[in-house]
């Protein structure tokens, strides 16, 4: 064979080798692409890392891939944590329903900030008050895995005190793998593992529906239920262990636990304010102030009217003649009625009062939140949902999450004594520039999410923020337990060891 022939054969061999290598590379690449779990998942580079933590969720429930990245639910003082969600179009409806893929194992007691033990009270104390009669297997809880089948809380004025309903639903859903929710609080089944013990009594609904004494009865149903709750708790080892200091008792309506509150005063109360509570029973050191459920619909941030689109300077619509604590409303009405740019009228939830208030607040720059029978009212949270800068005239008011949220960035505070000085309030508000108002308005749009109750809950919404407050409160409960409980805890410990 000639030298030229040998050279040609060598070149052909090299060419074939190169082509074969390229084919192998292409085949390997395609194999990696279509293999869901080969070496590393494809979306691994998309993990979001914040404060040295990350969250990743991959759903296999549908063919289209869903990726959700949630930042930690913890907040630091004066800061708010935001969430980033990346979802394919085919699966956006799944995420909006709060459905999680079966592979997500994040919500367990090991990575929750708060471990909550909840008593299995009979339905008469909670969902039975909504007309729910239990399932076929005599369960005391409804099946919350299907949000569309969860019993509905009644509307109207009942709804503003519905915090009890949202917190209970959230705890129940914390053990349902298919429900996507923040992992701030998780229900545990052993009370010794819990940071806090939750008492699922819908006390506000009980008061609203059953506080009247009917004929041939000595006590109302509401009174009977409160007595039963007290008897139940005081008989439990969980209550005796710390004298109830680690228990959460829901009493958002100011009249909801008037019978039982003195006997349960060592517990952590979930309240709207301290207006009708002696300091020995409720105070800011041990209890949690939570938002009302606002009545008006939240305005979308992108379509929220700005300064020029809100022709009314000052807005108030509600009850004007109140008891001693709310006498200031009548004084302000007499001062402000007839003033240019002021809407100050009587109003109620009846006769389309809520829709009228929604239109009025959305057309106003400033919304007055004036003390009534109690220091707080739902009106503040309606204003926040309407992106109407709240003007708070209530010297004794306590505000939700105030240890991490600076209300002075989006509210105007006026002392009651100053507000009734002729001309003071209007001169103050008229002196606020468009630039300053817009700064507060932008802040309102950012933080409205913190006052939204919803099921399933979302990172840093009202439910999640409440659990965060509780987590901060209970961190020192056990170390601060009074000395008199040492002996009782010792006896309980020895009793349990003998079993």
Q: Taking CA 406 as the corner, what is the angle to CA 403 and CA 408, rounded to the nearest 5 degrees?
A: 140
Q: What is the pTM of this model?
A: 0.77
Predicted confidence band at 498 (pLDDT cuts at 50, 70, 90)? low
State how far the Cα of 436 lies from the Cα of 118, in Å rounded to an integer: 46
- Give the domain range for residue 403: 301-451
Clarify whether residues 343 and 266 are in a common domain. Answer: no
Q: Is residue 420 part of a domain?
A: yes
Last residue of a domain, which of 32, 65, 96? Answer: 96
Q: Is the distance from CB of 422 to CB of 335 less than 8 angstroms?
A: yes
pLDDT above 50: residue 71: no
487 is a domain residue: no
Are both 134 and 185 inside the same structural domain?
Answer: yes
Q: Please tell me whether residues 251 and 118 are part of one structural domain.
A: yes
Q: Is residue 32 part of a domain?
A: no
Most confident of the ranges 7-16, 36-45, 195-204, 487-496: 195-204
- Considering the domain architecture, whether residues 143 and 82 belong to the same structural domain is answered as no
Measured CA to CA, the distance from residue 425 to residue 164 in angstroms comes to 37
CB 406 within 8 A of CB 380: no
Same domain as 224, residue 76: no
Same structural domain, 383 and 322: yes
pLDDT of residue 206: 97
Q: How far apart are CA 216 and CA 453, in angstroms?
A: 39
Residue 391 lies in a domain: yes
Least confident of 262-276, 287-301, 480-494: 480-494
Contact 441, 387 (CB under 8 A): yes
Residue 498 resides in a domain: no
Summarize pLDDT for 424-469 with one digit per residue, the tens. Answer: 999 999 999 999 999 999 999 999 999 999 999 999 999 999 999 9
* CATH number of 444's domain: 3.40.50.2000
7 in any annotated domain: no
318 and 275 fall within a common domain: no
Q: Write out pLDDT tens, residues 140-166.
A: 999 999 888 899 999 888 999 999 999
Tokens representing 199 are: 């008492």
Q: Do 263 and 410 sit in the same domain of this protein? A: no
238 & 381 share domain: no
How many folded domains does the chain comprise?
A: 3
User: Do 166 and 141 have their domain in common?
Assistant: yes
Do 386 and 323 lie in one domain? The reply is yes
Q: Is residue 128 part of a domain?
A: yes
Domain boundary among 61, 96, 131: 96
Please indicate, yes or no, if residue 2 is contained in any of the structural domains: no
Question: Is the same domain home to 120 and 250?
Answer: yes
């Amino acid at each position: 064979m000639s030298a030229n022939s040998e050279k040609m054969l060598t070149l052909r061999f090299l060419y074939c080798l190169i082509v074969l290598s390229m084919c192998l590379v292409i085949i390997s690449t395609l194999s990696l692409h279509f293999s869901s779990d080969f070496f590393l998942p494809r979306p691994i580079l998309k993990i979001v890392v914040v404060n040295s933590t990350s969250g990743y969720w991959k759903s296999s429930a549908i063919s289209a891939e869903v990726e959700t990245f949630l930042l930690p639910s913890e907040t630091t003082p004066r800061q708010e944590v935001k969430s980033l969600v990346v979802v394919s179009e085919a699966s956006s409806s799944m995420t909006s329903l709060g459905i999680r893929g079966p592979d997500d194992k994040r919500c367990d007691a090991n990575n929750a900030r708060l471990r909550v033990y909840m008593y299995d009270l009979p339905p008469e104390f909670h969902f039975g008050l909504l007309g729910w009669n239990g399932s076929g297997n005599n369960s005391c809880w409804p099946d919350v895995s299907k949000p569309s089948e969860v019993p509905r809380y009644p509307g109207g004025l009942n709804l503003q005190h519905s915090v009890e309903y949202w917190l209970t639903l959230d705890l129940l859903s914390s053990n349902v793998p298919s429900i996507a929710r923040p992992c701030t609080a998780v229900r545990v089944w052993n009370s010794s593992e819990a940071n806090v013990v939750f008492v699922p009594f819908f006390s506000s609904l009980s008061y609203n529906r059953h506080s009247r004494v009917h004929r041939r009865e000595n006590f109302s149903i509401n009174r009977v239920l409160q007595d039963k709750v007290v008897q139940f708790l005081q008989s439990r080892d969980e209550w005796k262990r710390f004298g109830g200091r680690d228990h959460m008792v829901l009493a958002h309506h100011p009249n909801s636990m008037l019978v039982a509150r003195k006997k349960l005063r060592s517990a952590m109360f979930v309240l709207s304010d301290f207006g009708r509570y002696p300091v020995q029973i409720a105070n800011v050191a041990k209890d949690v102030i939570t938002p009302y459920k606002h009545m008006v619909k939240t305005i979308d941030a992108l379509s929220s009217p700005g300064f020029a689109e809100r022709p009314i300077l000052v807005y108030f619509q509600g009850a004007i003649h109140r008891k001693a604590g709310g006498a200031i409303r009548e004084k302000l009405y007499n001062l402000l009625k007839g003033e240019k740019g002021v809407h100050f009228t009587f109003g109620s939830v009846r006769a389309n009062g809520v829709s009228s208030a929604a239109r009025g607040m959305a057309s106003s720059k400033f919304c007055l939140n004036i003390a009534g029978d109690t220091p707080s009212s739902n009106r503040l949270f309606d204003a926040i949902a309407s992106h109407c800068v709240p003007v708070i005239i209530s010297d004794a008011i306590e505000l939700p999450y105030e240890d991490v949220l600076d209300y002075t960035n989006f509210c105007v505070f006026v002392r009651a004594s100053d507000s009734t000085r002729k001309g003071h309030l209007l001169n103050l508000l008229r002196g606020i520039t468009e630039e300053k108002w817009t700064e507060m308005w932008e802040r309102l749009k950012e933080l409205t999410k913190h006052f939204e109750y919803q099921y399933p809950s979302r990172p840093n919404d009202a439910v999640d923020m409440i659990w965060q407050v509780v987590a901060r409160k209970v961190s020192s409960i056990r170390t601060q337990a009074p000395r008199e409980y040492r002996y009782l805890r010792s006896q309980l410990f020895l009793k349990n060891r003998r079993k």
